[in-house]
Structure 1
Amino acid sequence: MTTDPATTEPAEPEAPGGEGAAADGEPGTTVRTRTPDATEAAGGGEDTGDDGRAAADDTGTEAGGTGADGDEKATDADDAGTAVTGSGEEAAGDGAEDVGGGDTGDEDADGKSGLSEAQAELAAQRVERERIERRKAERNGPIDSGAGLSGTAADLLAAVRAVESGQKPVSTVFAEPEPAPRRPAPEPVRRPQPVAPTPAAAAPARETVDTVRAVLARGGAPESLAAQAAAVLGESAAGELGADPWQLLRVGGVRPEQADGFARALLGAECGPGDERRGRAFTVWLLEQAALAGHTALEVPALTAALGRYTVPDPDAAVRSAVAEGDALVFQDALDPASAAPARETGDAKDAEETGDAEDGEGAAERPVRVLIGLERYALAEESLADGLARVINSLPKEDPADWSSAAASAPRSAAELIRAVAGHGLVLHTGGEASRAEPAALLTAARALGLRAYAATHATDGRQRFARLLAGTRGSAPVSGGGGAGETVDAPDALQAVATVAGLLSGAQGPGRDADGALDLDLLVVLDAPQLDVETAAVLTESLPDGARLVLSGDPGVLWSAGPGRVFADLLAARACPQVASRTPDPGPLGELVSGIGIGELNQVDAPGKEIAIVPVRDAGEAVHRTVQLVVDSVPRALGIPAEQTQVITPGHGGAAGTRTLNAALKERLNPGPGRFGGFDPGDRIAWSPAPGRTVSGRVTGADADGLRLECAGAPVVVPKERVEQSVRHGWALTAHQAVGQRWPAVVVVLPGDAAQALNRPWVYTAFGRAERHLSVVHGVEQALPRAVAEVSAKPRTTRLSTLLKAQVPTAG
């Protein structure tokens, strides 16, 4: 199959070695994607975050990027057995800059104002964590479990029991022959009560920062870390750093070797690789790096192996110390017998110990378990999510006055199955591509026609607007019908009121608001883009639902997973604890055919008579940048009439010779040149703003003043404080696939430089190619790496507990 576009014209004189249509890069009429005629280019980047930083705090995370600009790979999470490689598919770096202070707000399209969505969302999460802490404190009765464990697994379990029971964590606790009793299962907990929005956390006192700065100076650490260290460690930061220098690892961006150097400077001869404080701090740091890669916990062998690679002499002792001090929690999760078969067949005692396989005293059948270590923040969020989902499943009223049968009978055939499933169940999963969103729209229309308080929530503002147009039947296709009769639609203003972003819904800025008990004031909630839910957001969302409310999670399982820890949607699909409705509505046209094939591992030959797809081969990164700019500025507007402002560039990473930084600089020079007098930005610049970890909002710069950088995002004004601009605002002509999730554009240019070959896998390609509505151009420099990634490289695994927890909560699961 050929890769040359049909429409040709001479290349620009400065084109480095291009000829004919391939040099011009104009969209063609035929796509041949199996054997692209391209040579490998150099200089790409990985989708691993920004500037080599690896921050892991409550407000934002960034994993390191690579490229020609000297960025550094975030391989530490990989060291922890977390499968983070240069591709950074699961890193939270894209749009995960922390949002921190400032009293700036984002007035939503509905005119509601107050605190920003990010601040309100963080406040809601704080309330949720306080509720989890109260629940934890109520668990005080004994439950006999874990008696069959031995070796390291038994030591870890005994340690956490000792801490939970209030005993002093001394070394002898690990040698006790009989483990202490565990806490009982939690009692049902009331949902969080409504609270007034709280202001952003106050900056640390100047005196505190000054004392921390003095300690940092003594240890040779950059004094610029003083404010952040004071904010993370609190008023006693200086004392904590003096007593335990490795606490510096809690400050975002600090690397283990930097913490070691700081400790040597402060402690001198007392500092050594076997220091208990060092092992404990490295354990916590590795768990935080694992969270950046999407894991909510790590198996013990993976964690101890990673500690060994950081020259911790006794990894087992380091893990036990972290558990005993309460810095980490230990869990044992039951496994299916089949999953433990390899360890039993080999007879390897070490494997049996690591997986927790044990036999009772009478030689009865084995009870396989796996032992996991996790940070309390994510572990308790996952448990809370399982509790909330079980409540949703079990709290559906037995008698429902709504006439769902008539609604299903009058709905389109593709939506009738979904409506019938929702009629009889509290939780329903719905899977499908972009075209399948018509089915949740029909469900929402039917539910509202039945008098129910039905709302939808999306991941991004762009998705909210698209679904509202679909709900209103104004997108140029047939009106959405259902429930009240054929052809019935929701008025456009009402449609936008019925749809919110997840962040806007939780903050109260959008959607129905909350009732007197603090629960969302609704009967049915449809969550689109469900694969983007991380465990913390999903836990807050489910705990906010009132008893008896129905929840529908809808999304495309082929796209990239959430930027935050967990794989909520995939775990729920695996648990089979509720009905699953798979859409049979295919995405239309050549683009739909191409993306559908990628979803099943096939990069198919696709005819594109309307210039829907074009392949532009390139030899190196310099040529890739040139062709990309040519496509955005000239070829696509001229051939298809799609202006540059409606064309989005997507590339694997921020760094490198063809990463977002390089591409944005080249596109700015052509589309909006300027000196960058506002922190590198000029009025009219296209930007990508990250108001919270894992969220990216597209917009434009309108100006700047003493308050900060002024933006317009989705028609609403936004002010980003000047101290937050560098961390939360980027130029937005070029994005990574993680930043682009939940959004779509009329035209998309996907750039695949030669050194991006290792960064590619099927979810990345599926997500990037699926962002185009009318036209897709692929600037192709990876040769056979593209079809190989689609056919052979799936999503990197994440270690989570949700599926196991839910099966325990819902006995009929599976």
Structure 2
Amino acid sequence: MSTEPETTEETGPGTPEMPEAQGAPGAPDEAAGGGLAADEGRLAADGGDGAAEVSGAGETSEGADGGAGEETAESTEGAGSAEAAEAAEAAADGAGKPELSEAAAELAAQRVERERIERRKAERDGPVESGAKLSGKAADLLAAVRAVEAGAKPASAVFAAPSRPAPERTPEPGPAATAAAPVRPAPEPEPVRQERPAAAPAPAPAGPSPRTVDAVRRVLAEGGAPEALGQQAAVALGEGAGELLRADPWQLLRVPGVRPEQADGFARALLGAECGPQDERRGRAVTVWLLEQAALAGHTALEAPALTAALAQRGVPDPDEAVQSALAEGEALVFEDALEEPGAPAAQPADDEEEAERPVRVLIALERYAMAEESLADGLARLINSPSQDGEETWAPVVAALSGGAAELARAVAGHGLVLHTGGDASRAEPAALLGAARDAGLRALAVCHTADGRDRLAALPPTRGAGVGTVAGLLAGAEGPGRDGDGALELDLLIVPDAPQLDVESAAMLVESLPDGARLVLGGDPALLWSAGPGRVFADLLAARACPQIASRLPDPGPIGELVSGIGIGELNQVEAPGKEVVIVPVRDAGEAVHRTVQLVADSVPRAFGVPVEGTVVITPGHGGAAGTRALNAALKERLNPGPGRFGGFDPGDRIAYSPAPGRTLPGTVVKADAEGLHLSCAGAPVVVPRERVEAWVRHGWALTAHQAVGARWPAAVVVLPGDAAQALSRPWVYTAFGRGERHLSVVQGAEGALPRAVAEIPAKPRTTRLATLLRPQSPTD
């Protein structure tokens, strides 16, 4: 690595200290005071804060960048969680228009899938169980689950004792394919086939009626809340929202961006002396709110002790009772998972009459994520257990046409319905070769990537010849890929997902459930990258479960950047030889200097030294706020590269933007123009019109991005900015992801000093609480 000399120009004051994450253990409770702000600006709140509060009680959160709204916790990666929530709400708010946008179509397709999952749940005879036959507290818990499903209230002693924490298990994949036993009995294929959605996504339901919105606004005004929230509240609560808010003011927490202390102020204004922290309605609503915040941080469930601790921090007098109330009202589901390592023998009975009690963890989850994980596990089991007698004959031409790692991958696919493929960016050549050979053999094959840039780079590889490649969002929305058969299944023999680490649990469930029996699914990607912006850690859980063959690519990423990133992946920040200045370290003293040097690199140094145009360079920084966050950097870069008055909501034609129409999806693009229809963008060569009322929530300037926004795409050059106040946001996956976004050149504007090597060596991925690995675990005879 080479080092550029320090600049002698003083560009600004020192970097301010990074604000501490709210909701840490011991933080003062805010539930007793504070009302709703009188203006919309103060109402906007970061959902990542709530996730941090849950994390402070025993779980660690990971933010999900990718939205484009406002947030308050500005210096952390968790800021994007609120933006993701705002994007989702905004998409719902725009439902019912005659012509659906891509985002609205995708959300409609997801809504159809959730309805299908709910129908499957309703058809089940008994409660969802995982683990073994149990006694004591565990038996009481299962009895409580059955009572909830029968409409009764759980026993009061269910959460009397905390459960033991579950150990984190992420074994490294082996270099060769290792097939495991079938994970769990596959569901009957015929009913599943009949329940799959139709080929085209159903039209989005009409939005709330003007009468409903007016009724909500009147109730909001009585409670001192901004009337501008009326549309959002009506969308979140549906018809009759006004009456519902009057009867239960804490239902306002269902509106994205509203926090418990604001809902408390609204409730006091409406209920007067009847309002109190002991109100059962408050405890139930805060329970659901905390679970929503945990989902924004990546969790699909929370351990009961973590949830009750977070409720206590929020001023709920009896957290156990609040959880039980949420369960009784069907607001959440409860599960218990055995804690044995995968493949461990079942516990032996203590005698002929009594079985030994096995350790479990008690988990609370929102229904949508719990059922998505259940549906995903069922679909994966169906693929794994699907007959493969035709594999040798059908796939023999494909195997014969390939060599090396691609042939090894094809052999695994020939005999198995699900195969995992791991490796860096260079390893994408192997699934690309498999795709090309499968299509040449007459098989219906498709590869879908996380981003349009990933799709275009995969299509540029010679084996694909530009055919059979799309995006996950496009496939789920019906805009890309093949049609569906009469049962709603995709007409495919092979589906390849090269960016599987970015799959959230709901998207993964929709993909898997859309595949026909006998189809092959290849999930590939780099396990060292940041996980999905949405809840779940699907790829990591599958690697840990070892329920299917795993093929580890031996293709290294080339050049000094590839060597540097490979070392980071194993926890080593090495100095690499970069004779062509492929890797450059730019030391800075403070955030002001970091911004100045970044602008200089993008506008002058990189184009002059490497011939990379300005639009070929991406700037990556840990957060949106702070003195060197995306806001500050984008403001400085706009002033230098495309100055203008910002006539269209702060934007001018030619501005680089990041368009985020749905949670976890960020499309880079440029502003074309603006008119009465809204802001006209060009994203990946496709025209996009953002309605005027959605510009603030969905569009940011995009010269500078966060690592979560940039994952899944690469640029010729990358400038990674590490200000001193970003130390707490750094981790090995973040550094690995950010440093790997540049293909030819990487500049690191380094102000974090020792925090960078410490993050690479000591700070792994933040854990997420999920159930998928447990659901995929081979079941013992006593289960």
Could you say whether these structures have the same fold, taking a TM-score greater than 0.5 normalized by the shorter chain as the test?
yes
Partner residue of 1:563?
Answer: 533
**Alpha-carbon distance between aligned partners in 1 of 2:351 and 2:359, rounded to the nearest angstrom:** 12
Q: Work out which of the residue numbers 534, 538, 559 in structure 1 matches 2:504.
A: 534
Corresponding residue of 1:510: 480
Corresponding residue to 2:235 among 226, 231, 243: 231
In the alignment, which of 507, 517, 522 is matched to residue 547 of structure 1?
Answer: 517
SS of 1:189's partner is: helix
1:612 counterpart letter in structure 2:
E
User: Is 1:75 aligned to residue 62 of structure 2?
Assistant: no
Taking the TM superposition and a 5 Å limit, the aligned residue runs for 1:387-402 are: 387-400=378-391, 402=393
Contact 1:419–1:443 under 8 Å retained in 2 = yes
For the 8 Å contact 1:750–1:778, the answer to whether it is kept is yes
* Counterpart residue identity of residue 637, structure 2: L
The yes-or-no answer on 1:289 pairing with 2:293 is: yes
Q: Report SS of the residue matched to 1:690.
A: strand
Corresponding residue of 2:114: 129
Instruction: Provide the rounded CA distance (Å) in 2 between the counterparts of 1:241 and 1:289.
Output: 21
Q: CA deviation at 1:540?
A: 0.5
Equivalent residue letter for 2:253: L
The counterpart of 2:770, out of the listed 787, 790, 800, is 800
Asked if the contact 1:745/1:773 (under 8 Å) is kept, the reply is: yes
1:273-352 correspondence to structure 2 within 5 Å: 273-336=277-340
Q: Distance in 2 between matches of 1:633 and 1:370?
A: 54
Q: How far is 1:155 from its partner?
A: 5.3
Shift of the 688–14 alpha-carbon distance from structure 1 to 2, 3 Å rule, reads: same
Measured after TM superposition, the shift of residue 372 of structure 1 is 0.7
Q: Return the alpha-carbon distance in structure 1 between the equivalents of residues 561 and 158 of structure 2.
A: 59
Counterpart CA distance in 1 for 2:158 and 2:52 is 32
- For residues 695 and 414 of structure 1, the distance between their equivalents in structure 2, rounded to whole angstroms, comes to 31
Conserved 8 A contact 1:382-1:539: yes
The answer to whether the Cα contact below 8 Å between 2:147 and 2:154 also exists between their aligned partners in 1 is no
C-alpha spacing 1:582/1:63, structure 2 compared with 1 (3 Å): farther
Instruction: Describe the SS at the equivalent of 2:315.
Output: coil
Q: Which whole-Å CA distance do the structure 1 matches of 2:381 and 2:665 have between them?
A: 28
Report the equivalent of 1:411: 402
Aligned to 1:264: 268
Residue equivalent to 1:22 = none
Cα distance 1:676–1:361, how it changes in 2: closer, same or farther (>3 A)? farther
Residue 696 of structure 2 is aligned to residue 726 of structure 1: yes
CA contact (8 A) 1:40 1:754 kept: no
Between 82-91 and 445-454, the greater mean CA deviation after superposition: 82-91
Residue 139 of structure 1: aligned partner: 124
Question: How far apart, in 2, do the equivalents of 1:198 and 1:606 lie?
Answer: 53
Query: Kindly tell me: are residues 162 and 663 of structure 1, through their superposed partners in 2, closer, same or farther at Cα, counting changes over 3 Å?
Result: same
Q: Which of residues 667, 672, 680 in structure 1 aligns to 2:637?
A: 667
Deviation at 1:506, TM superposition (A): 1.4
Check the 8 A contact 1:762/1:789 in 2, yes or no: yes
For these two proteins, the number of residue pairs brought into alignment is 717
Question: Which region of structure 1 is more displaced relative to structure 2, 221-230 or 687-696?
Answer: 221-230
Further displaced range: 653-662 or 224-233: 224-233
* Cα 1:47–1:680 shift into 2, 3 Å: farther
Q: Give structure 1 stretches of 5+ with no counterpart.
A: 18-38, 49-61, 67-71, 107-112, 176-183, 342-355, 474-479, 481-489
How big is the shift at 1:192? 1.2
- 1:352 corresponds in structure 2 to none
Number of the residue aligned with 2:447: 456
Specify the alignment match of 1:210 in structure 2: 214
Amino acid in the other structure paired with 1:213: R
Instruction: Tell me how far 1:195 sits from its aligned partner.
Output: 5.2
Q: What letter is aligned with 2:547?
A: A
Q: Distance in 1 between matches of 2:96 and 2:280?
A: 44
Q: Structure 1 pair 517/300, CA: closer, same or farther in 2 (3 Å)?
A: same
Instruction: Check conservation: 1:358, 1:368, Cα contact below 8 A.
Output: no
Q: What SS is found at the alignment partner of 1:430?
A: strand
Give the corresponding residue for 2:460. 469
Is the CA contact 2:584–2:748 (under 8 Å) kept in the aligned structure 1?
yes
How far 1:4 moved relative to its partner? 2.4
Alignment partner of 1:64 is 2:41: no
- What is the letter of the counterpart of residue 139 of structure 1? R
**SS of equivalent to 1:774:** strand
Tell me if the contact between 1:664 and 1:734 (Cα under 8 Å) persists in the aligned partners.
yes
Worse overlay, 800-809 or 567-576: 800-809
The 5 Å alignment of 1:93-104 reads 93=82, 97-98=87-88, 99-100=90-91
Q: State the match for 1:56 in structure 2.
A: none
SS for the counterpart of 1:140 is coil
- Contact map agreement 1:90 1:294 (CA 8 A) in 2: no
1:314-713 equivalences in 2 (<5 Å): 314-336=318-340, 362=353, 364-400=355-391, 402=393, 404-405=395-396, 407-470=398-461, 473=462, 480=463, 490-491=464-465, 495=466, 497-713=467-683
- Would you say the 8 A contact 1:273–1:313 is kept in 2? yes
Question: Measured at CA, do residues 315 and 172 of structure 1 come closer, stay the same or move farther in structure 2, by a change above 3 Å?
Answer: closer
Identity %: 70
What secondary structure does 2:81 align onto?
A: coil
Letter in 1 for 2:643: P
Match of 2:61 in 1: 84
- Aligned-pair distance for 1:339? 12
Aligned equivalent of 1:52: none
Deviations 1:487-512 (A, max 9, x none): xxx54xxx2x4000001111221111
What's the secondary structure of 2:375's corresponding residue?
Answer: helix
Letter in 2 for 1:125: Q
Q: Please list the CA deviations of residues 604-654 of structure 1 after superposition, one character each: whole Å capped at 9, or x if unmatched.
A: 011110110110011111000000000000111111111111110000000
Once the two structures are TM-superposed, the CA of residue 398 in structure 1 deviates from its matched residue by: 1.2
1:123-202 to 2 correspondences below 5 Å: 123-140=108-125, 148-151=134-137, 156-165=141-150, 167-169=151-153, 189-190=192-193, 191-194=195-198, 196-202=200-206
Q: Distance in 2 between matches of 1:592 and 1:687?
A: 28
- After TM superposition, the structure 1 stretch with the greater mean CA deviation from structure 2, 420-429 or 204-213, is 204-213
Code of the residue aligned with 1:4 in structure 2: it is T
Residues 24-61 of structure 1: CA deviation (Å, up to 9, x unaligned) = xxxxxxxxxxxxxxx9944679999xxxxxxxxxxxxx
* 1:197-256 deviation per Cα after TM superposition (whole angstroms, max 9, x unaligned): 444443322222222112112222222211111111112111111111111111111111
Shift of residue 141 of structure 1?
A: 5.2
**Which string of whole-angstrom CA distances, capped at 9 and with x for unpartnered residues, describes residues 530-564 of structure 1?**
00000100000000001110000000000000011
Matched, 1:116 2:89: no
* Alpha-carbon separation, structure 1, partners of 2:430 and 2:269: 63
Task: Find the aligned partners of 1:412 and 1:611 in 2 and give their Cα distance.
Answer: 35
C-alpha distance in structure 2 between counterparts of 1:122 and 1:338, whole Å: 35
> Once the 2 structures are TM-superposed, how far is the Cα of residue 809 of structure 1 from its aligned partner?
6.9
Q: Quick one: distance in 2 between partners of 1:383 and 1:280?
A: 24
Distance 1:514 1:237 in 2: 37
Rounded Cα–Cα distance in structure 2 between residues aligned with 1:650 and 1:224: 34
How far apart are the structure 2 equivalents of 1:73 and 1:662? 25
Helix, strand or coil at the partner of 1:333? strand
Letter in 1 for 2:215: T
Q: Secondary structure at the match of 1:778?
A: strand
Write the distance in 1 (CA, Å) between the matches of 2:249 and 2:323: 19
Alpha carbons 1:105, 1:719 under 8 Å: kept = no
Tell me how far 1:159 sits from its aligned partner.
Answer: 3.4
TM-score under structure 2 length normalisation: 0.85
Q: Deviations over 1:237-281 (max 9, x none)?
A: 111111111111111111111111111222122112111111111
Supply the AA of the counterpart residue of 1:801: R
Paired residue secondary structure (1:652)? coil
